């Protein structure tokens, strides 16, 4: 005998949130965009003919906000995945890699800070492999040195102050 008062999954009245995962991700992207826009507020925007230093970060922040808004709205309108449990492993290793890079870049330079940060950040994945992470980090560091130091001529220390006595060139 079935109970006529019970509500089945199919007849459950729809709530406001249809995909908590999309809503959460959209709100997170919007928060990052607002923070980036706020931080770039002091930079001069300039015009399209003479772009200022704030044009790119503020434009990217605006596009990120629009994408986050679209994702959040899809969480309200389209049925999708529910928010899943997540561990702290990913954020700890990713933010840890950023902190390691910021601590090592001036003293050891990009040649050390790059691979250390990338290998540490790679440990965020459950599929971490030392050999793959090391090869990836070394190749990407070489590309970063070529791009930022050689092609763009940015003042990024390749060999930091701590390593300069060992490399007198």
Over residues 91-116, the pLDDT tens digits come to 999 999 999 999 999 899 999 999 99
Counting the structural domains of the chain, the total is 2
Does residue 60 fall inside a structural domain? yes
| Dihedral angle over CA of 38, 42, 47, 53, nearest 10 | -100
Does residue 161 fall inside a structural domain? no
Does residue 61 fall inside a structural domain? yes
Are both 54 and 95 inside the same structural domain?
no
Examine the pLDDT at 7 and tell me if it is beyond 60: no
Strand partners, 46: 51
What is the domain extent for residue 32? 20-77
Are both 39 and 73 inside the same structural domain?
yes
Please tell me the number of Cα atoms within 13 Å of 76 on its side-chain side. Answer: 8
Do residues 94 and 117 touch, judged by C-beta distance below 8 A?
no
Are both 47 and 94 inside the same structural domain?
no
Examine the pLDDT at 131 and tell me if it is beyond 60: yes
* Total-model pTM: 0.59
Are both 140 and 110 inside the same structural domain?
yes
Are both 69 and 39 inside the same structural domain?
yes
Does residue 106 fall inside a structural domain? yes
Share of the chain above pLDDT 70, in %: 90
* Average pLDDT, rounded, for the chain: 86
Are both 95 and 42 inside the same structural domain?
no
């Amino acid at each position: 005998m079935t109970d006529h008062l019970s509500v089945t999954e199919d007849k459950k009245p729809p709530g406001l949130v249809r995909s908590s995962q999309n809503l959460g991700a959209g709100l997170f992207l919007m928060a990052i965009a607002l923070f980036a826009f706020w931080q770039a507020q002091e930079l001069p925007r300039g015009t399209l003919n003479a772009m200022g230093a704030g044009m790119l970060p503020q434009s990217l922040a605006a596009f990120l906000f629009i994408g986050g808004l679209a994702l959040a709205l899809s969480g309200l309108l389209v049925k999708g995945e529910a928010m899943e449990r997540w561990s702290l492993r990913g954020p700890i290793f990713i933010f840890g890699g950023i902190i390691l890079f910021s601590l090592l870049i001036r003293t050891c330079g990009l040649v050390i800070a790059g691979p250390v940060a990338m290998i540490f950040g790679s440990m965020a994945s459950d599929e971490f492999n030392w050999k793959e992470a090391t090869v990836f980090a070394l190749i990407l560091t070489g590309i970063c040195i070529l791009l930022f130091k050689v092609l763009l001529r940015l003042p990024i220390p390749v060999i930091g102050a701590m390593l300069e006595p060992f490399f007198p060139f």
